[in-house]
Amino acid sequence: MKQIRMIVRACVRMSQVLLLLCLMVIAWQASARLPEAGMLLEAAGGLRAKCLLFGATAFLALFFFLIYRMLGYLSKRGLFVVRLVCGCILLGGQLLFLLYYQSLYMWDSALVVGGVSTLIADGGIAPQALYYFGQYPNQNAFAVVTKLLLAIANLFGGTGMARLLVLNTCNLLCIDLAIVLTMKLAKVVFEELSDRAYTMLLVIIICQPFFYMGVSYYYTITLSMPFFMGFLYLACKAVRQEKETGPKLGGRMICAVLAGIVLSVGTLIRATCLVPAIAVFLCVGLKLLRSREVGKQMVLPIIVCLLAAFVSFMVVKPFLNRQIGIDTKDSAFPATHWVMMSMTPPGCHNAEDEAYTASFASAQEKRAAVRERMAQKAQQLGAKGFMNLALQKIRNTWSDGTNNYVLFMENCLHMDGMYPYVFGHHKDVAVLYHQAMLLLTILGSALSVICSFTRRSDIGAIYLFQLTFLGGILFYLLWETGAQYSLPFLFCMLFCGLDGWNGLASDVLRGKEKRYAQGGFVIVCAALLLVSTGSLFSLKDVLTKEAATYKSPVVNQIIANGELMGDAPIRQTFVTNDPFNQLIFQWRNTAGENSQAVYDVSLSDEEGTILMSGQIVAEGQPYQGAFIKEMDMVTPDGDTSYTLTLQKTDASADTISFVTYTCGTYAPYPKGTLTKGNQVQNGALMFQIARNEQKPYATARQYVFFMLVAVGIFLILEICCILEVKRKERT
């Protein structure tokens, strides 16, 4: 028995060492990149940009340290008020993005919503999405949920805006439910969790920008979050040892059944819900090997959970397939396709591998072809190639603090107010904040692993989150990668990060294990803040004197999947309250370079006043054409509707087509309509309305104000932390 315990302990330590190595790689990669912060990288260069990132990380470390310390002075009622305020801040920010900014859907989300939009009226998937649903039956659960929500939206008129609001409201509820389950899970797994640490967890959660912006990111990633955390919560309640204050056997069995159902439904929505399940089962298995008395109490709930998951999976999956009504026996991609595709550096989605798998007619041919291509890629990569690919995959998935939010959420219905500072040309500070939060979380997670080496209970609650985190890293070493794919693991990352920094904070506040931790922590943070402040000072001329052209999107409909022939007048309306001076759209010269097509292009306001006019002359032009027109600045008086008109000058001449997005009855730009002749079309033109301005990044007054505020906050944090450390030394 002693040997078995030693083997179990060795397995736990090996997994923690592996996680620590991965975290060190992620921290190194995260410290060397500022994705989407073009100005900082261009103006500051690599070294100064790193100094700014380290300074921002130190600033956040001091900020959270001070908040944690201040929470220690509050009573239980005071901590409850803080949690209430945090909840109000979170909900208020979410409502701002839900009701005002409202990101438009891109790619997969648009295809699913558009494909399902015809299910209710016509009983079938939209033709434009048949190929997608045929390849990816794993999206059926997402599609059925979307169908239900669109039916609800039809009760409110079924307009594009109503659909967007209903879908995003569901998304908001999923995110908030995941947060609630995370808070409840913390109470379950950390039985001695103080109200102070509990409140600190919520403070850290509301400081994560994604929980605000993500309400418009309607996709399986967000819909699976409550199932991901719900399974962990229910499973942990089910396997808890019976105590006077804990759940009895009957209650644990109910939790086990619910956990199984949640696991099966969550897996059907997104396969990564299996990762926490595997982590739970491994933890139970290790505990059973170590102590049969303890493990036996956990075996029955796990068996019940697995049976409930199996039964519900066998019931729900056929139901989903019937709802979609597509035979995917031969068209569906095998699971090995994503493994094969991810073997092409840098491990992301690529159209070539997708077209390759789709080119084979039967399921058997697809499986054989994918296996053959995997073998070829493995031979080409070799050992060194696999190592480089693994590093690229880790970088793609885990070292981007923004989680690709700019790519997926920048196309909003409103692009004024704080939009330029979150999504637009002044988003550098927001990107810096995201990356600093990630670096702080990763460093905290590494500290958590290090602290675990000194704990008596090596299969404690925190090990479950560490194992889930490690499982996510290993999963995406095999699978297609993307920065947004790490989001379901965000809560586990926060648990690990908070545990690590809490261990260090204990040293800072009590000095039990590290005698000089108090001064060292403050000195290191002060040094980093001073260096980053110096870097900001050195950028003064670049930021305030050097003028550059900044492009601010005002209306952005940039997804496309087809064309609309211009044999009748085409009109696209849009609404904005933001000034603009540029129009861009794409067209196709379908008749070739000898085409005689000539089109008048005009932009008019609500009163019919022509604000811009131009022409498209197709003769001598290539197949792909773009119309780009600068105009005098147009300044709307509040929300104003404008009409873009495209009309052939000679009805008998050749015809060109205009690039559009059409999928079922989905409205890719719900605040406008597309018409051809007198007939309203489904979809919208691919077009952009923008504002180009020549100006410095910031005025001298803005720069001075920002520097005074930044330095002032730095000094206040430093002074407060020094006073707190001195007070602790005296006591």
In tens, the pLDDT along 503-551 reads: 766 654 454 444 455 566 667 777 777 777 776 677 777 777 777 778 8
User: Closest Cα partner for 410 from 270, 559, 548, 630?
Assistant: 559
Contact at 8 Å (CB) between 598 and 617? yes
pLDDT of residue 322: 92
pLDDT of residue 668: 94
CA angle 439, 487, 81 (to 5 degrees): 80
Amino acid symbol at 614 = G
| Residue 716 neighbours by CB under 8 Å, 6+ apart | none
pLDDT surpassing 90 at residue 451: no
pLDDT surpassing 80 at residue 377: yes
pLDDT of residue 516: 56
Amino acid symbol at 371 = R
Q: What single string gives the DSSP state of each residue in 208-252?
A: -THHHHGGG--SHHHHTHHHHHHHHHHHHHHHSPP-SSS--HHHH
CA 170 to CA 729: how far, in whole Å? 50
φ/ψ (deg, to 5) at 579:
-65, 150
pLDDT of residue 342: 94
Q: What is the mean pLDDT of the chain?
A: 88
pLDDT of residue 74: 87
pLDDT of residue 32: 81
Please give the residue that has the higher pLDDT: either 252 or 511. Answer: 252
pLDDT surpassing 90 at residue 82: yes
Contact at 8 Å (CB) between 538 and 48? yes
pLDDT of residue 623: 94
CB atoms near residue 272 (< 10 Å) = 23
pLDDT surpassing 90 at residue 319: yes
pLDDT surpassing 90 at residue 718: no
Low-confidence winner among 330-334, 555-559, 698-702 (lowest mean pLDDT): 698-702
Place of tokens 């059409």: 662
Amino acid symbol at 574 = F
Contact at 8 Å (CB) between 496 and 465? yes
Beta bridge partners of 692: 551
pLDDT level of residue 244 (50, 70, 90 thresholds)? very low
pLDDT level of residue 171 (50, 70, 90 thresholds)? very high
pLDDT of residue 41: 61
Provide the phi-psi class of 347: left if phi over 0, else alpha when psi is between -120 and 50, else beta.
left
Coil vs helix vs strand at 264: helix
pLDDT surpassing 60 at residue 729: no
Binning the chain into helix, strand and coil, the percentages to the nearest 5 are 65, 10, 25
pLDDT of residue 137: 92
CA 156 to CA 555: how far, in whole Å? 25
Place of tokens 């179990």: 8
Contact at 8 Å (CB) between 603 and 647? no
- What pTM, to 2 d.p., does this model score? 0.93
Pairing of strands 548-557, 687-695: antiparallel
CA 15 to CA 470: how far, in whole Å? 8
Q: Give the CA-trace dihedral at 328, 330, 335, 337, to 10 degrees.
A: -120
pLDDT level of residue 133 (50, 70, 90 thresholds)? very high
pLDDT surpassing 70 at residue 727: no
CA 180 to CA 83: how far, in whole Å? 12
CA angle 36, 178, 414 (to 5 degrees): 45
pLDDT surpassing 60 at residue 714: yes
Tens digits of residue pLDDT in 382-411:
999 999 999 999 999 999 999 988 888 989
pLDDT of residue 652: 86
pLDDT surpassing 90 at residue 666: yes
| Residue 417 neighbours by CB under 8 Å, 6+ apart | 100
Please give the residue that has the higher pLDDT: either 539 or 425. Answer: 425
Provide the phi-psi class of 208: left if phi over 0, else alpha when psi is between -120 and 50, else beta.
beta
Tens digits of residue pLDDT in 30-67:
988 777 766 666 665 667 778 788 888 888 888 888 88
pLDDT level of residue 294 (50, 70, 90 thresholds)? low
